[in-house]
Structure 1
Amino acid sequence: MRLVSHPVLCNYYITYRCNATCSFCDIWERPSPYVTLENMRDNLRDLKRLGVRVIDFTGGEPLLHRQLDDLLREAKNLGLITTITTNGLLYPKYAERLHGLVDMLHFSLDSPIAEEHDKSRGVKCFDKVMESIAIARRLGERPDILFTVFEHNVHQIKQLHEEICLPNDLVLILNPVFEYNDVETGGGFSEKTLQEMTRWGKQKNVYLNDAFIQLRRDGGNHVEDPVCLAGSTTLVISPENKLVLPCYHLGLKDFPIEGQLYNLYRSDEVQKLVALEGRLPACEGCAINCYMQPSFAVEMNRYWWKALPSTLKYNRIKGTWKQLF
Structure 2
Amino acid sequence: MRLRSKPVLCNYYVTYRCNAKCSFCDIWERPSPYITLDDVAQNLRDLKRLGVQVIDFTGGEPLLHRQLDQMLEMAQQMGFITTVTTNAMLYPKLAGRLKGKVDMLHFSLDSADKQEHDTGRGVACYDFVMESIEVAKQLGERPDILFTVFKHNLHQLEEVYQKVILPNNLVLIINPAFEYNTVATGEQLSPAELKYLSDFGKRKQVYLNEGFVQLRLDGGNHIAKPVCKAASTTLVISPENELVLPCYHLGTKTFPIDGKLYDLYSSQEVQALKQQEGRLPACQGCTINCYMQPSFAVELNKYFWKALPSTLKYNYLKGTWKRLIA
Partner of 2:19: helix, strand, or coil?
coil
**Alignment partner, residue 105 of structure 1:** 105
**Alignment partner, residue 45 of structure 1:** 45
Q: Distance in 2 between matches of 1:6 and 1:244?
A: 17
Partner of 1:294: helix, strand, or coil?
helix
**Alignment partner, residue 4 of structure 1:** 4
**Alignment partner, residue 252 of structure 1:** 252
**Alignment partner, residue 35 of structure 1:** 35
* Alignment map for 1:125-164 (pairs within 5 Å): 125-164=125-164
Q: Distance in 1 between matches of 2:184 and 2:269?
A: 34
Q: Distance in 1 between matches of 2:144 and 2:16?
A: 23
Residue 117 of structure 1 pairs with residue 126 of structure 2: no
- Alignment RMSD: 0.5
Partner of 1:298: helix, strand, or coil?
coil
**Alignment partner, residue 66 of structure 1:** 66
* Alignment map for 1:107-256 (pairs within 5 Å): 107-256=107-256
Q: Distance in 2 between matches of 1:230 and 1:298?
A: 11
Q: Deviations over 1:50-103 (max 9, x none)?
A: 000000000000000000001111101101000000000000000000000000
Structure 1 residue runs without a partner (length 5+): none
Q: Deviations over 1:212-241 (max 9, x none)?
A: 000000000000000000010000000000
**Alignment partner, residue 265 of structure 2:** 265
Cα deviation for residue 187 of structure 1 reads 2.6
Q: Distance in 1 between matches of 2:311 and 2:70?
A: 29
Cα deviation for residue 318 of structure 1 reads 1.0
Structure 2 residue runs without a partner (length 5+): none
Q: Deviations over 1:165-222 (max 9, x none)?
A: 0000000000000010001211311112101100100001000001100000000000
Q: Which stretches of structure 1, 4 residues or longer, exceed 6 Å deviation after superposition?
A: none
**Alignment partner, residue 299 of structure 1:** 299
Q: Distance in 2 between matches of 1:18 and 1:301?
A: 37
Q: Distance in 2 between matches of 1:110 and 1:157?
A: 8
One-letter amino acid matched to 2:143: P
Partner of 2:195: helix, strand, or coil?
helix
One-letter amino acid matched to 1:66: R
Partner of 2:175: helix, strand, or coil?
strand
Partner of 2:16: helix, strand, or coil?
coil
Aligned-residue identity in percent: 70
Q: Distance in 1 between matches of 2:316 and 2:8?
A: 19
Q: Distance in 1 between matches of 2:61 and 2:237?
A: 15
Q: Distance in 2 between matches of 1:177 and 1:279?
A: 22
Q: Distance in 2 between matches of 1:294 and 1:23?
A: 26
One-letter amino acid matched to 1:159: E
Cα deviation for residue 323 of structure 1 reads 1.5
Q: Distance in 1 between matches of 2:175 and 2:231?
A: 22
Q: Distance in 1 between matches of 2:184 and 2:299?
A: 31
Cα deviation for residue 316 of structure 1 reads 1.0
One-letter amino acid matched to 1:69: D
Q: Distance in 1 between matches of 2:270 and 2:316?
A: 36
How many residues are matched?
A: 325
Q: Distance in 1 between matches of 2:193 and 2:280?
A: 29
One-letter amino acid matched to 2:132: S
Q: Distance in 2 between matches of 1:269 and 1:114?
A: 48
Which shifted more, 256-265 or 69-78? 69-78
One-letter amino acid matched to 1:185: T
Q: Distance in 2 between matches of 1:323 and 1:90?
A: 29
